[in-house]
Structure 1
């Protein structure tokens, strides 16, 4: 049809030569309806010819809730790892018949309240924390589940769905054998504190358990000259830092660039370990040792928690159990 108006089930019924009830039974796959296979095929072909898309609002009324999970992204750069996680969350929710729709808070995005009011999602999954009033307004408007992957909902007793501490702890344990003073390469982006701080806490916890000094924390910009200043400070410390846990691979690559800028090299002058195993990690000079997270399993676990909550099941209070391994290369 070319009128520009939305195609309705009535249009499909006329095209197929059946009643609207029959169209509804076929397209919604209503059980216990004795509709001949030839009629079903005619309805599907008519719907495809007309480009019919069932109304989300009507579907929500039929199911008793929306099929949308609204994902809220903080103002973070959407790079390789985050992009992969978004795709895996999309796939994981689709396995449960849910559509994952992402909204970024990066300016000049529309205000969050306008987005969830327009969508009326069944659930909201935030990668960051958000304010009490926003969460309360969502729940009052009928959003059934409000969860935060990282950070927390202010005042909410539950911890976040995902814990970042084990990542820092794994980095520290990997370096702690030959290295008795560790540094931490903190990202030069305040919005990443919700991830960076618990990872740093994991490093601190392991250092305390092993009787090592507090890690020497330096903010590392993503440029060689700035990173070189951090490297010089680590090497000049007393006792000097000989191994560095970086927030992620991007920051770790900056540390390697800083070493190169000073005519130094990992791991001889400073061992470095990153997180994420991005595609350029293996191409670094030297190739970067890094922590690998099973983001596909993580996405499936998050989706399951949301779906279980939607279905009224009791879910554990503790964070999801993440799976990690260390991809050992030449930098540490």
Structure 2
């Protein structure tokens, strides 16, 4: 085809010498159709040669829904861990014949309502809670599944599908055997509260269980000077902090930079544990002890829950399985 117009199934049928119905049966792999293998191959070869791509709108009409899952990202930095999760979700949905399309709410992104109206997804998966009005509008428009990984959906309170509290608890238990006062390095980006607060709650819970003081919480910016201020405050406390649980590895690396700026070192002056096991964690000076999690299992579990909900199945209320461990290095 060279006239610049979109190739249609009629073009494929004409070139292959078959009916449009046959083209539809072959390309959609319709069951119970007695079509010779040679005819099937001819249709596939013709479609590939002409560059035929089935219309998404037509497919949606035929199936009753699109094959798109719209992923809604908050205004978070898209760095190593989030980027890895997006790729794993993309792969996990693809295994179920679904296309994962990601939208970030970072300003000046297109308004969310305009987006889902134009995309008409089969499902929406948000990383944090959705406003009640938005969730109701989506469902009223026929979007079958509206699901969030953290926070509530449409004002319906329920446990997060991916639990963050166990991360803080694991960090605190790792440090508690050698440190009588713990600190918590909180991120300075308010949008991360949905993750940071439950991780801090996990640290607090373990401190209470072990009869340790409540953790000394300091907001730590991603710069050495600001981190040094937090380090000085921890060390100057009435009961000095000697071990710090950091929200993630980036914040933990900032704490290490703050220590270095003051001429101090981990773990001699302050032990530090992070979370996420980013590549730079092993390259830090000293190498950073950190919590790691199996994000691929999380991605597959989330995809399965969306697919099961689309199929009308009852899904469990508890969080998805999240295997945690610690890479013990020299910072603790």
Shorter-normalised TM range: over 0.9
How many Å apart are 1:215 and its aligned residue? 0.4
Q: What secondary structure is seen at the aligned counterpart in 1 of 2:89?
A: helix
Structure 2 residue 293 is the aligned partner of structure 1 residue 293: yes
Which residue does the alignment assign to 1:111?
Answer: 111
Q: Give a deviation string over 1:117-149, Cα, whole Å, max 9, x none.
A: 011111100011120000000000000111111
Distance 2:154 2:231 in 1: 37
1:146-295 matches, within 5 Å, as 146-295=146-295
Distance 1:39 1:68 in 2: 30
Q: Give a deviation string over 1:265-288, Cα, whole Å, max 9, x none.
A: 000000000000000000000000
Q: What secondary structure is seen at the aligned counterpart in 1 of 2:279?
A: coil
Q: Work out whether residues 134 and 154 of structure 2, in 8 Å CA contact, stay in contact via their aligned partners in 1.
A: no
Which residue does the alignment assign to 2:27?
Answer: 27
Which residue does the alignment assign to 1:52?
Answer: 52
How many Å apart are 1:58 and its aligned residue? 1.7
Which residue does the alignment assign to 1:330?
Answer: 330
Distance 2:215 2:59 in 1: 54
Which residue does the alignment assign to 1:39?
Answer: 39
Number of aligned residue pairs? 332
How many Å apart are 1:61 and its aligned residue? 2.2
User: After TM superposition, where is structure 1 displaced by more than 6 Å over at least 4 residues in a row?
Assistant: none
Distance 1:256 1:2 in 2: 61
Q: Give a deviation string over 1:283-326, Cα, whole Å, max 9, x none.
A: 00000000001000010111111111111111111211211000
| TM-score, normalised relative to structure 1 | 0.98
> Structure 1 residues 61-70 or 319-328, which shifts more?
61-70
Which residue does the alignment assign to 2:79?
Answer: 79
Q: Give a deviation string over 1:161-184, Cα, whole Å, max 9, x none.
A: 111000000000000011010000
Which residue does the alignment assign to 1:61?
Answer: 61
How many Å apart are 1:216 and its aligned residue? 0.3
Q: Give a deviation string over 1:222-261, Cα, whole Å, max 9, x none.
A: 1111100000000001110000000000000000000000
Q: Work out whether residues 151 and 158 of structure 2, in 8 Å CA contact, stay in contact via their aligned partners in 1.
A: no
Distance 1:220 1:47 in 2: 56
Which residue does the alignment assign to 1:320?
Answer: 320
Distance 1:252 1:107 in 2: 27
Which residue does the alignment assign to 2:135?
Answer: 135
Q: Give a deviation string over 1:177-224, Cα, whole Å, max 9, x none.
A: 110100000001111111101100110111111111110000001111
RMSD: 0.9
Distance 1:158 1:198 in 2: 14
Q: What secondary structure is seen at the aligned counterpart in 2 of 1:307?
A: helix
| TM-score, normalised relative to structure 2 | 0.98
Q: What secondary structure is seen at the aligned counterpart in 2 of 1:291?
A: strand
